[in-house]
Structure 1
Amino acid sequence: MTREKRTRDKRQKELPKPSARQPRLTLRRNAKMARSAHAYVRGNTAKFYEWLDGIDGHALPEGPAIWICGDCHTGNLGPVADAQGRVEIQIRDLDQTVIGNPAHDLIRLGLSLATAARGSDLPGVTTLRMMEALADGYERAFDEVAGDADIRAEKPEAVRVVMKEAVRRSWRHLAEERIDDLEPTIPLGARFWPLAQRERREIAALFEKGSLARLATELRGAGDDADVEVLDAAYWVKGCSSLGRLRYAVLLDIDGAALDGDDLCLIDIKEAAQAAAPRYPGARMPRDNAARVVEGARHLSPSLGERMRAARLGERPVVLRELLPQDMKLTIEQLTRDEAMKAARFLALVVGHAHARQMDRAERRAWLGELRRNRSKTLDAPGWLWTSIVELVSSHEAGYLEHCRRYALESETKKA
Structure 2
Amino acid sequence: MPKKNASRTGLPKPGERLDLLTARRNARMARSAHAYVRGNTAKFYEWLDGMESHTLPEGPAVWICGDCHAGNIGPMANAQGRVEIQIRDLDQTVIGNPAHDLIRLGLSLATAARGSDLPGVTTVRMMEALADGYERAFDDTSDHTDIQAEKPEAVRVVMKEALRRSWQHLAEERIEDIEPHIPLGKRFWPLSKSERREIDALFEKRTVARLATELRSEDEAAKVAVLDAAYWVKGCSSLGRLRYAVLLDVDGAALDGDDLCLIDIKEAAQAAAPRYAGVRMPRDNAQRVVEGARHLAPFLGDRMRAARLAERSVVIRELLPQDMKLTIEQLTRDEAMKAARFLALVVGKAHARQMDDIERKAWLGELRRSRSKTIDAPPWLWKSIVELVSGHEAGYLEHCRRYSLDAGA
TM norm. shorter chain > 0.5: yes
Task: Verify: 1:233 aligned to 2:229, yes or no.
Answer: yes
> 2:143 pairs with 130, 147, 150, which one?
147
Q: What residue identity is the alignment partner of 2:64?
A: I
Superposed counterparts of 1:114-153, under 5 Å:
114-153=110-149
Which letter does structure 2 place at the counterpart of 1:302? Answer: P
Letter in 2 for 1:248: Y
Does the C-alpha gap of structure 1 residues 308 and 395 become closer, same or farther in structure 2, counting only changes over 3 Å?
A: same
Pairwise mapping of residues 205-216 of structure 1 onto structure 2 (< 5 A)?
205-216=201-212
Residue 254 of structure 1 is matched in structure 2 by 250
Letter in 2 for 1:225: A
**Gaps (5+ residues) in structure 2?**
none
The one of 164, 170, 183 equivalent to 1:168 is: 164
Distance 1:93 1:183 in 2: 28
Q: How does 1:9-408 map to 2 (within 5 A)?
A: 13-179=9-175, 181=177, 183-408=179-404
1:181 Cα deviation from its structure 2 partner:
4.3
Retained in 2: the 8 A contact 1:81–1:88?
yes
Deviation of 1:75 after TM superposition, in Å, equals 0.5
RMSD: 1.5
Inter-CA distance 227–356: structure 2 relative to 1 (3 Å threshold):
same
Q: String of CA shifts for 1:54-109, please: whole Å, max 9, x gaps.
A: 00111000000000000000000000000011100000000000000000000000
- 1:12 and 1:189 in contact (8 A); partners too: no
Q: Name the aligned partner's letter for residue 111 of structure 1.
A: L
- 35 and 181 in structure 1: CA distance in 2 versus 1, 3 angstrom threshold: closer
Matched AA of 1:107: I
How many residues are aligned here?
409
Once residues 174 and 345 of structure 1 are traced to their aligned partners in structure 2, the CA distance between those partners, rounded to angstroms, is: 30
**Alignment deviations for residues 205-243 of structure 1 (CA, whole Å, 9 cap, x no partner):** 100110000000001133111000000000000011223
TM normalised by structure 1 equals: 0.96
1:13 CA displacement: 1.7
What are the superposed Cα offsets for residues 94-125 of structure 1, whole Å, 9 maximum, x if unpaired? 00000000000000000000000000000000
Q: 1:305 and 1:334, CA in 2 relative to 1: closer, same or farther beyond 3 A?
A: same
Letter in 1 for 2:295: H
Query: Would the aligned equivalents of 1:178 and 1:186 in 2 still touch at CA under 8 Å?
Result: no
Q: Is the 8 A contact 1:72 1:106 kept in 2?
A: yes
Q: Deviations over 1:359-388 (max 9, x none)?
A: 000000000000000101111000000000
CA–CA distance in 2 between the matches of 1:56 and 1:372? 22
Structure-2-length-normalised TM-score: 0.98
Contact 1:141 1:147 in 2 (8 A): no
Alpha carbons 2:172, 2:178 under 8 Å: kept: no
In 1, Cα distance between equivalents of 2:227 and 2:91: 27
CA contact (8 A) 1:11 1:189 kept: no
**Is the alpha carbon distance of 1:10 and 1:66 closer, same or farther for their aligned partners in structure 2, counting shifts above 3 Å?**
closer
Counterpart-to-counterpart distance in 1, 2:134 and 2:156: 20
Deviation at 1:182, TM superposition (A): 6.6
| Secondary structure class of the residue paired with 2:244 | strand
Q: 2:66 corresponds to which letter in structure 1?
A: G
Q: Is the 8 A contact 2:216 2:258 kept in 1?
A: no
Q: How far is 1:244 from its partner?
A: 2.6
Q: Distance in 2 between matches of 1:354 and 1:329?
A: 18
Residue 384 of structure 1 aligns with an amino acid whose one-letter code is W
Q: Secondary structure at the match of 1:258?
A: coil
SS at match of 2:306: strand
Q: CA deviation at 1:177?
A: 2.3
State the alpha-carbon separation in 2 of the partners of residues 220 and 180 from structure 1. Answer: 23
Instruction: Please state how far the C-alpha of 1:9 moved relative to its aligned partner.
Output: 6.7
Opposite residue 253 of structure 1, the aligned amino acid is D
SS class of match (1:135): helix
* Per-residue deviation, 1:180: 6.2
- Determine the C-alpha separation between the residues in 2 that align with 1:167 and 1:400: 37
Structure 1: runs of 5+ lacking an equivalent: none
User: How far apart are the structure 2 equivalents of 1:37 and 1:139?
Assistant: 28
Specify whether residues 362 and 174 from structure 1 end up closer, same or farther in structure 2 by C-alpha distance, changes over 3 A only: same
SS of 2:364's partner is: helix
Q: Alpha-carbon deviations, 1:241-262, whole Å to 9, x = none?
A: 2233110000000011002222
Matched to 2:171, the amino acid is A
- Distance in structure 2 (CA, Å) of the matches to 1:64 and 1:391: 24
